[in-house]
Structure 1
Amino acid sequence: MKNKPLLIIGGGGHAAALAEILLKQNKKIVGVVAPELIAVGNVFDGIELFHNDDDILKFNPQDVLLVNGIGSMPFKLLREAIYNRFKKLGYEFATVIADSAIVSDYSVIGCGVQVMNNCVVNCGAAVRDNTIINTSSSIDHDCIIGAHCHLAPGSTLSGQVVVENNVHIATGSNVINNITIGRNSIIGVGANITKSIPANSIVYGARAIVKGLESNDS
């Protein structure tokens, strides 16, 4: 990570988890940007609070790195919108890797990727920009994970899995090797994926029932 002060966007649980990782790594956090702090605990104590996204513009893009502390949930586009807005304005986003994560020297980790506690990213894997690899997730060899994805806690990808952009893989899901998951898809909690999934799909249940997003009533 470039040795610049950090500005965290977001005041919820994901932002707090990132802040704790960074503070343990002795990184300098110059502020948190959020309308209010809703995270439990006092991890943000002593860090200046800025209430509006436009306050980020007070910082020269050459002087800080941004940390995208907005969580990622299905049908919620704020995280991606924040990333795209400030990238266009010339800001860079810090890549955050927890000390407890195991990340191969032979993997490729993109801009703004967040690899949380106890994750594994094996050799030959590539994780694209602004993706979250959340707590205790496992990515095996030669997987390719697209941009703006979220692998929720405890998800497991076997080798040579391709995950296209904007995919949400929920907690406890398992994906066998040589599977492709199409863009904008949602893999539900505990689903077992044994065949490739088309783009714009919702998959749910341990036996992986596939449903098109256009027919989703939620």
Structure 2
Amino acid sequence: YKYKLLKFNATTMAISDDLEKTELQAKLTDEKKTALQKYQDITIGSYSISKLIKYELLVTLIGALPGAIGLVLRKKFYKSLFGRVGRNVIFGKSITIRHPDKIYIGDNVIIDDYAVLDGKGADNNRIIIGDNVMIGRSSVISCKNGNITIGENSNIAMNCFIQSAKEVNIGKNVLFAAYCYVIGGGDHETERTDIPIIAQGQIVKGITIEDNCWIGASVKVLDGVKIGRDSIIGAGAVVTKDIPDYAIAVGVPAKVVKTRS
């Protein structure tokens, strides 16, 4: 009886250990994969050696190259990495690029130094960046097996973080001040106390920010929220519920204090 109980406990622990990981953790800690395969899972999302060689050559040789020569070489050669790159796209130095096949960039886009474009995921299919978009220095556009769309003429300032585990849709002419966080990774289930939160799964709804909005500095937008068109969110606000069109909302949590219409 004791032997059977020990076997049951060992099996239970094995299952529990596997559950107590995020999808990314599970890939990176899979003992059946080589270190090279894990690296490819993170960077290019493919086990193609030819894609890996091209990626490594371009990122290593010209990725961190400073000055005008770096800008010219990245403009010429980086487009072969992505799903699509339009005309006159500027890539700053030391940009982190992951799963570039899923990233589609319009015309006249500017991506400043140290930005991150991360399209990783097993089931997602795109980051779309519209024409004339600016992505500021050290800002992160990151898929967590979700999709992200940024409409034309939108401007994302420095040190912003936009993450998606389902759908994050940002409209046209949207202005982000610095240090904004669009939390599209969802919420963790927390009802059970017999297992860790990391093992309980997530609820992901998606985020929509409609056209012509202004998102103030250090704003946090939680999952499941829709911000209506032409709205203004005051600096430092935490948006936990939908905001109607033409609203001005401030505070923690954000509340509508005025309407622009």
Deviations 1:173-208 (A, max 9, x none): 111111100011101111111211011111112357
Q: So what's the TM-score if we normalise by structure 2?
A: 0.48
CA distance in 2 between counterparts of 1:19 and 1:181 reads: 34
Q: What aligned pairs does 1:25-44 form with structure 2 within 5 A after superposition?
A: 25-26=51-52, 27-28=55-56
Aligned to 2:176: 163
Change (3 A) 1:137 1:18: farther
Partner of 1:155, secondary structure, is strand
- In structure 1, the gaps of 5 or more residues are 1-11, 30-61, 66-91
Change (3 A) 1:64 1:126: closer
Q: Confirm or deny: 8 A CA contact 1:202 1:210 kept in the other structure.
A: no
Aligned to 2:110: 108
Q: What aligned pairs does 1:54-133 form with structure 2 within 5 A after superposition?
A: 65=64, 93-96=94-97, 98-117=100-119, 118-133=126-141
CA distance in 1 between counterparts of 2:223 and 2:39 reads: 22
Q: What aligned pairs does 1:167-186 form with structure 2 within 5 A after superposition?
A: 167-171=180-184, 172-186=206-220
Q: Confirm or deny: 8 A CA contact 2:234 2:250 kept in the other structure.
A: no
* Post-superposition offset of 1:99: 1.6
CA distance in 1 between counterparts of 2:40 and 2:139 reads: 14
- In structure 2, the gaps of 5 or more residues are 1-22, 29-37, 65-92, 120-125, 185-205, 255-261
Question: Is 2:42 the partner of 1:20?
Answer: yes
Q: Confirm or deny: 8 A CA contact 1:200 1:212 kept in the other structure.
A: yes
* Post-superposition offset of 1:211: 5.5
Aligned to 1:134: 142
* Post-superposition offset of 1:20: 2.3
Deviations 1:142-170 (A, max 9, x none): 00001111111121111000011100012
Provide runs of 4+ in structure 1 moved above 4 Å: 12-19, 22-25, 62-65, 207-211
User: How many pairs were matched up?
Assistant: 146
CA distance in 1 between counterparts of 2:106 and 2:39 reads: 22
Q: So what's the TM-score if we normalise by structure 1?
A: 0.57
CA distance in 2 between counterparts of 1:17 and 1:140 reads: 31
